[in-house]
Chain A
Amino acid sequence: MSPPAPDIDAATETGRDKPVPYGPVPCAPAFGARGEDRMTIDQVPANRRLVEELYAHGYLTTAARQAALEFLNPRDQWTLWISRLLLVVGSALALSGVVYFFAFNWSQIPPIAKFASIQIGIVAAVGAASVWGLTRTHGQVLVVGASVLVGVFLAVFGQVYQTGADAFELFTAWSVLILGWSVISNFAPQWALWLAVTNVALGLWWRQAALPTEEMAFLIYAYLALLNGMALAVREWGALRGVDWIARRWTRVLLTIATLLALLVPASTLVMADDPTTSMLVAGIMGLIGHVVLYSAYRHLLPDAWAVSATVLSGCLVLDAAAYRILSSALGDNTAATWLSLGLATLVIFATAMVYLRSIAPKLKAAHD
């Protein structure tokens, strides 16, 4: 295949595509594009799209394109990624197939067979994990599989023996039983599973065992914020100490979202409430303080543009709730004026947040780099 000749006509379909001398480029505005945001060559990410564009416009030959692709995605990286994709997706589908099979035959399967098959699954997964070791992905994925099967086992146990146990007891037992594996797994998805199970256990305990009065109902958000916030703190502590497996970016994203959700609900409820209950007050104030703590942590201590943006977004929603409260009180029955002014207030709040985030973005990026 011969390389196409440089295609200047095609490149000049728009002003934006016109080849220009090296330096700032005049172009049509992109989304949110403003004059001060022009890129330098050092800022442009090299990716496949760029290589394909260079090739399509004749700046790269076929051999050069191939060399560029090999540079961006070396073959050994591709094979490692594909092998992991096959392992994770294949395991997930095979396990799902087993679960579906149980669901299909549930009433016909004798209890002994139910228990035996699940227990054999757990023993086999744990045995294979100990053979492979927990330093390899195979072993770690198997521990996650065994942890899921522990939950299935507890559900079957409760059903067969009609223990009458509440759902929170099942989830609490599940959380306790897989805690040890989580500790030794050195595997973030295993911890994510544990945290999800523990969050559900806490929520169910609140509804089924704690049975809070209306006065205390909002305290659950404080507990959930504490649980997820502590997990986030442990994650950051581990990352700072160089623990690689916990330092994956998605762990921060997941834990920040979980913590912010538990902070946002009571904080926005508090600012809208006319007569807040004690728990609403406690959890709401904690929610407001939590926003400040998260903001400070990711703005100054561990600079992270994404985490700061998530916190600012959550803060904007709290402010919007406050704006609704103030406007609806001030404008009374004039709902048309309330809607209009709330729309404008929303735009002002979020625009200010955008301006601020754009102003600190270079500093956060520099700190991150």
Chain B
Amino acid sequence: MTERATMHRVPALLDALARDGHISDRQAVEAFVLARQGETELPLHIRVLAGIAAVIACACFVGFLWKIGLIDYDEPAGMLLIGPAFIVVAIVLNRIPGVSQATVGSFLLQVSLAMMATGKLLFIIGFNESFSTPWALSLAALIVTAATYHLFPMSIDRFLSSFVLLLSVMVNVVWGEETTLPRELLVTGFFGLQLAVGAVLLTHGRIRREYLPLAYAIAFSLCVIVLLPAAYVATHPMVVNGMLAGGLIALFAWAGGGVDVLKRPPMVLASLGAVLLALISAPALMLSIGAMIIGYAKHDRRLLILGALLMPAFLWTYYYDPEVSLLMKSAILTVTGGALLAGRFYMSYTGKSREA
């Protein structure tokens, strides 16, 4: 499972394609590839550093504003004014030209991220305090996320904003007041919508890279729904399992390069396996397998790790799920594990598994 695909660079890929006569105008392809890259994003570990600094600094700034009385629950209008002001300053700082001097540039980057986080937090709190409905939180999160997604091109901010928005919607849908629509329908619909949008964002070639943070936020949000027993029981479990099984089969076709591969015997068996998982299993297992397949196919280590971590997280939370008896859980896990091992046995038996 930890086996990773070999990482290649573009010239090696283009060499291979040119050798087989698949590329005629190599220069045009290279120009397109470079244009799609934009500028180099900072490595993930440096982005994590920036994110942690922004969170600590944001907490300090909120503490400061609290102490000087600018954060006042009785006067939410103040927060509604100061929040957007912080956001505007953050955007301006991020766009200051001539930041080629690394020291100034990195400092401004940190300041703008911290100010953006503070501004969004203030606006959301202020907006929430101004209205008496819990949906105000989601609406405020939607407003700040939509307003800044394209104006503030920091992937960590895009991810966190989108995740907070999805999380707030989930809380409202699962635990909020009753509506005219049945809760089961709302939660299942919310899950299905996220699954569909997430699948398109992660697998479609025309989706621009700036939407990747949104795709990761959706993946995390889906994980939260399948891990939280309270959220999952609020769905229609068989419909959710059906969606995930359908998603897995579509994923097999995508990973194999087209719908035609589903006609091959191993893929037919894999598809039947997915249907079996939908009938007997828990959704977290299918989501975990799906995330790992996309991660492996796209050389995306973040999704691979997310899928791998979802498995033990599920086994931990599943134990405490009060809705299913331990005996039933035991049967589900054993049968699911047995089905997967049978798949492995089939691969060994037919010689498709070349063990290292």
Give the B-binding residues of A (Cβ under 8 A): 1, 10-11, 13-14, 16-23, 25, 27-39, 41-57, 59-69, 71-73, 76-98, 100-101, 103-105, 136-138, 248, 250, 305-306, 309-310, 312-313, 316, 320, 335-336, 339-340, 342-344, 346-355, 357-359, 361
The contact of B153 among A29, A61, A80, by CB within 8 Å, is A29
B31 touches A20 (CB 8 A): yes
**CB of B320, distance to nearest CB on chain A (Å):** 11
B353 with A46: CB separation less than 8 A: no
B47 touches A44 (CB 8 A): no
| The stretch of B98-106, B121-129, B141-149, B186-194 that contacts the partner chain | B98-106
B5 within 8 A of A: yes
Q: Is B61 an interface residue (CB 8 A)?
A: yes
- Most interface-central of A32, A60, A348 (chain B CB within 10 A): A32
The contact string, 1 if C-beta is below 8 Å from chain A, for chain B 6-35, is 111111110011001011000111111111
The answer to whether A92 and B53 touch across the interface, beta carbons within 8 angstroms, is no
Q: A17-B35, A34-B39 are in contact. Are A47 and B299 (CB under 8 A)?
A: yes
Distance of A1 Cα from B258 Cα, bound (Å): 10
A14 to chain B, nearest CB (A): 7
Q: Could you say which residues of chain A place their CB within 8 Å of the CB of B341?
A: 86-87, 90-91, 94
Binds A, one of B230-238, B242-250, B343-351: B343-351
Q: How far is the CB of B313 from chain A (nearest CB, A)?
A: 13
Do A101 and B46 form a contact, CB below 8 Å, given A19-B31, A347-B107, A350-B52? no
B299 touches A44 (CB 8 A): no
Cα-based distance from A221 to B205 in the complex (angstroms): 49
Q: Which residues of B contact A336 (CB under 8 A)?
A: 64, 67-68
Across the interface, A37 reaches (CB within 8 A) one of B27, B40, B330, namely B40
Q: How far is the CB of B170 from chain A (nearest CB, A)?
A: 26
Would A347 and B57 count as touching, CB distance under 8 A? yes
Further contacts, 13 of them, CB under 8 A, given A31-B41, A104-B330: A25-B38, A29-B153, A42-B10, A47-B298, A57-B32, A72-B299, A90-B344, A93-B336, A97-B337, A340-B60, A350-B49, A352-B106, A354-B109
- Tally of B interface residues using CB under 8 Å: 115
- Indicate if the CB atoms of B347 and A82 lie closer than 8 Å: yes
Q: Give the secondary structure class of A's interface.
A: helix
- Contact pick for A48, options B49, B156, B299, B326, CB 8 Å: B299
A70 to chain B, nearest CB (A): 8
Enumerate chain B residues within 8 angstroms of A84, measured Cβ to Cβ: 1-3
In this complex, the member of B8, B60, B326 whose beta carbon has the largest number of chain A beta carbons within 10 angstroms is B60
A44-B326 contact, Cβ under 8 Å, with A72-B299, A313-B49: no
* CB <8 Å contact, A48 and B298: yes
Which residue in B31, B40, B50 is a CB contact (below 8 Å) of A38? B40
Inter-chain CA distance A209–B355, complex, in Å, is 46
Q: In the complex, A71→B11 CA distance in Å?
A: 13
A31 touches B27 (CB 8 A): no
24 A-B pairs whose Cβ atoms sit less than 8 Å apart in the complex: A13-B208, A16-B35, A17-B35, A25-B35, A30-B38, A34-B102, A38-B39, A38-B40, A41-B11, A44-B10, A54-B33, A57-B205, A64-B17, A77-B5, A83-B344, A83-B353, A86-B347, A87-B344, A89-B1, A96-B333, A98-B330, A104-B330, A136-B355, A354-B110
Least CB distance from A149 to B in Å reads 16
Q: Which 6 A-B pairs have the closest CB atoms?
A: A52-B205, A94-B337, A97-B334, A93-B337, A343-B60, A90-B340
Q: Are B16 and A340 in contact (CB under 8 A)?
A: no
Nearest chain-A residue to B329 (Cβ)?
Answer: A100
The answer to whether residues A72 and B27 also contact, given A39-B40, A84-B1, A355-B103 and a CB cut-off of 8 A, is no
**Interface: B287 (CB within 8 A):** no
List which B290-326 residues lie within 8 A (CB) of chain A: 292, 296-300, 311, 315, 319, 325-326
Task: Quote the shortest CB–CB distance from B88 to chain A (angstroms).
Answer: 17
Interface membership of B154, Cβ < 8 A: yes
| Complex-state Cα separation, A57 to B7, whole angstroms | 23
Q: How far is the CB of A91 from chain B (nearest CB, A)?
A: 7
Minimum C-beta distance from B112 to chain A (A): 10
Residue contact B257 to A66, C-beta cutoff 8 Å: yes
Other-chain residue from B23, B34, B208 in contact with A39 (beta carbon distance below 8 A):
B34
Nearest-Cβ distance from residue B221 to partner chain A, whole angstroms: 21
With beta carbons under 8 angstroms apart, the residue of B67, B257, B299 that contacts A65 is B257
For residue B338, CB closer than 8 A to chain A, the reply is yes
Most chain A CB inside 10 Å of its own CB: which residue of B28, B35, B102, B330: B35
A101-B329 Cα distance, complex, nearest whole Å: 8
A353 to B100, CA, bound (A): 17
Q: At the interface, yes or no: B289 with Cβ under 8 Å from chain A?
A: yes
Q: Measured between alpha carbons, how far is A65 from B254 in the docked complex, in Å?
A: 12
- In the complex, are the beta carbons of A60 and B41 less than 8 A apart? no
Q: Are A41 and B334 in contact (CB under 8 A)?
A: no
Specify the chain B residue showing the minimal Cβ separation from A83. Answer: B353
- Distance from A64 Cβ to chain B, minimum over Cβ atoms (Å): 4
Contacts of B153 in A (CB 8 A): 28-31, 33
B48 interface residue, CB < 8 Å from A?
yes
Contact indicator A45/B7 (Cβ below 8 Å): yes
Residue of A nearest to B56 (CB): A346
B8 and A71 within 8 A (CB): yes
Of B5, B11, B285, B326, which is within 8 A of A100 by CB?
Answer: B326
Give, as a whole number of angstroms, the nearest-CB distance from A106 to chain B.
9
Q: In this assembly, does B327 line the interface, its C-beta being within 8 Å of a C-beta of chain A?
A: yes
Once bound together, how far apart are the Cα atoms of A52 and B203, in whole Å?
8
B35 and A101 form a contact (CB under 8 A)? no
User: What's the nearest-Cβ distance from chain A to residue B222, in Å?
Assistant: 18
Whole-angstrom distance from the CB of A151 to the nearest CB of chain B? 16
Q: Report yes or no: A29 in contact with B39, Cβ–Cβ below 8 A.
A: yes
How far, in angstroms, from A77 to B271 measured CA to CA in the complex?
Answer: 20
Residues on B with beta carbons closer than 8 Å to the beta carbon of A69: 257
Q: Any chain A CB within 8 A of the CB of B111?
A: yes
Chain A nearest CB, measured from B42 CB (Å): 4
What is the 8 Å Cβ interface bit string for chain B, positions 46-89, against chain A (1 contact, 0 not)?
11111011001111110110011000000000000000000000
Contacts of A248 in B (CB 8 A): 2
CA distance A13 to B109 in the complex (A): 26
Interfacial chain B residues near A94, Cβ < 8 Å: 333-334, 337-338, 341
Measured between alpha carbons, how far is A23 from B33 in the docked complex, in Å?
A: 11
Closest chain-B Cβ to A234's Cβ sits at a distance in Å of 20
In the complex the two chains form, what is the Cα distance from A320 to B95 in whole Å?
28
CB distance from B350 to the nearest CB of A (A): 10
